[in-house]
């Protein structure tokens, strides 16, 4: 029996790796997060821990004397990019060090990074991005986390790996980077107001090449990286394996909501959607939706960021395929299936 410690277990990554390992069998799964799960579908033991509190982390994580794998997918947002470094590095250190000290069975630590390592959030960058590319002008907390993990592993019996997905798509509440829920809520409100589905971002983002990583695919990739010798001490880009343009997908999205596809109308969703909470509460009653708070469903600043990136976003996934991971997903079909799943869950009408 392998024991997986999933750090950040309730996020758009953690809940999917939890479900994937549960489905495989042979894994004892422990989820860590600050919040206690409220959903019955959470498929693991859970421990609430504040990883920014070293004493709390030591007290609660030193019990894992049988841990074999750590899947680190936690993140704390801060107002500016530079402010991300200190808390996110501290959380990684405070999670890995107590577990590595407690368990002589530890085999692997898997870290989730992202294409912001290459500067995808700053403007046009070299595409397709390759793992051997240098990071953008620092600071970058991905760089700090990876550098610390590389150094911490030296002389140890366990190995590490890091995956770099882009725009991870799945279901998770109160997540600061969940584009699909933003899309579902935005389209549903547009329909309720009798509006066409207008693209709210930059005109350049509407036509630029884009990529995504489905949470279920990422979960399979994380498991592969954590259990495959060829992935030991390596970094891999991992996306769905294809590219798309919002301009091509937008009419299909509009049809999925049975409304007209509108043109580009650049707006700040963080501003214009801020007052829609009462409307959403009315829609929840009208359509018998789950009573999740509006602010837990939508993270409009992230949608503004994604749809404001007026440059190509492309990663090369050649390295991970050559190493043996070949799973791919059709992104457009995956997005439509995810929106249908949100309806099935009664998250959106």
pLDDT, one tens digit per residue, over 60-76 is 999 999 999 999 999 99
Domains of the chain: 2-168+212-237 (3.40.50.720), 174-211+243-312+329-344 (no CATH)
What is the mean pLDDT of the segment spanning 217-236? Answer: 98
pLDDT value, residue 174:
76
**Does the pLDDT value for residue 339 go beyond 60?**
yes
pLDDT of residue 176: 73
Confidence category of residue 81, pLDDT binned at 50, 70, 90: confident
Percent share of the chain, pLDDT over 70: 98
Strand-pair partners of 5: 30, 70
297 φ, ψ (degrees, to nearest 5): -90, -40
Q: Is 45 helix (H, G, I), strand (E, B) or coil?
A: strand
Residue range 169-196: average pLDDT? 92
**Does the structure show a pLDDT above 60 at 41?**
no
The number of angstroms, rounded, from the C-alpha of 138 to the middle of its chain's C-alpha atoms is 22
The predicted pLDDT at position 43 comes to 72
Tokens standing for residue 232: 């030991």
The full 3-state SS of 275-334, as one line of letters, equals: CCHHHHHHHHHHCCCCCCCHHHHCCHHHHHHHCCCCCCCCECCHHHHHHCCCCCCCHHHH
- What pLDDT is attached to residue 210? 98
pTM of the model: 0.95
pLDDT per residue over 140-182, tens digit each? Answer: 999 999 999 999 999 999 999 999 999 999 988 878 788 999 9
Residue-level pLDDT at 36: 74
Report which of 335, 298, 251, 327 is spatially closest to residue 20, judged by C-alpha positions.
327
């Amino acid at each position: 029996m392998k024991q997986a410690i999933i750090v950040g277990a309730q996020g758009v990554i953690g809940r999917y790796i939890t479900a994937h390992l549960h489905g495989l069998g042979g894994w004892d799964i422990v989820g860590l997060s600050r919040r206690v799960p409220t959903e019955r579908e959470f498929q693991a033991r859970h421990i609430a821990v504040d990883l920014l509190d070293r004493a709390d982390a030591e007290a609660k994580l030193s019990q894992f004397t049988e841990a074999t794998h750590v899947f680190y997918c936690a993140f704390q947002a801060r107002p500016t990019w530079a402010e991300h470094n200190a808390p996110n590095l501290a959380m990684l250190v405070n999670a890995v060090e107590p577990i590595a000290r407690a368990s002589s069975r530890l085999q692997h630590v898997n870290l989730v990074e992202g294409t912001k390592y290459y500067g995808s959030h700053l403007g046009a960058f070299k595409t397709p991005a390759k793992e051997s590319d240098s990071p953008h002008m620092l600071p970058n907390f991905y760089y700090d986390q990876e550098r610390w993990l590389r150094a911490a592993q030296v002389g140890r019996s366990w190995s590490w790996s890091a995956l770099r997905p882009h725009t991870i798509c799945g279901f998770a509440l109160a997540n600061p980077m969940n584009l699909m829920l933003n899309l579902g809520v935005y389209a549903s409100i547009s329909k309720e107001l009798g509006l066409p589905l207008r693209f709210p971002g930059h005109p350049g983002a509407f036509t630029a090449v884009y990529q995504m990583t489905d949470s279920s695919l990422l979960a399979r990739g994380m498991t592969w990286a954590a259990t495959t010798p060829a992935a030991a001490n390596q970094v891999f880009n991992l996306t769905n394996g294809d590219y798309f343009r919002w301009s091509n997908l937008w009419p299909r999205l509009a049809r999925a909501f049975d409304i007209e596809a509108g043109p580009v109308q650049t707006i700040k969703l963080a501003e214009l959607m801020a007052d829609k909470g009462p409307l959403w509460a009315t829609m929840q009653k009208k359509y018998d939706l789950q009573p999740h708070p509006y602010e837990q469903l939508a993270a409009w600043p992230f949608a503004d960021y994604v749809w404001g990136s007026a440059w190509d976003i492309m990663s090369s996934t050649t390295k991970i395929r050559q190493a043996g991971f070949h799973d791919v997903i059709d992104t457009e079909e995956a997005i439509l299936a995810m929106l249908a799943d949100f309806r099935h869950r009664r998250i959106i009408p």
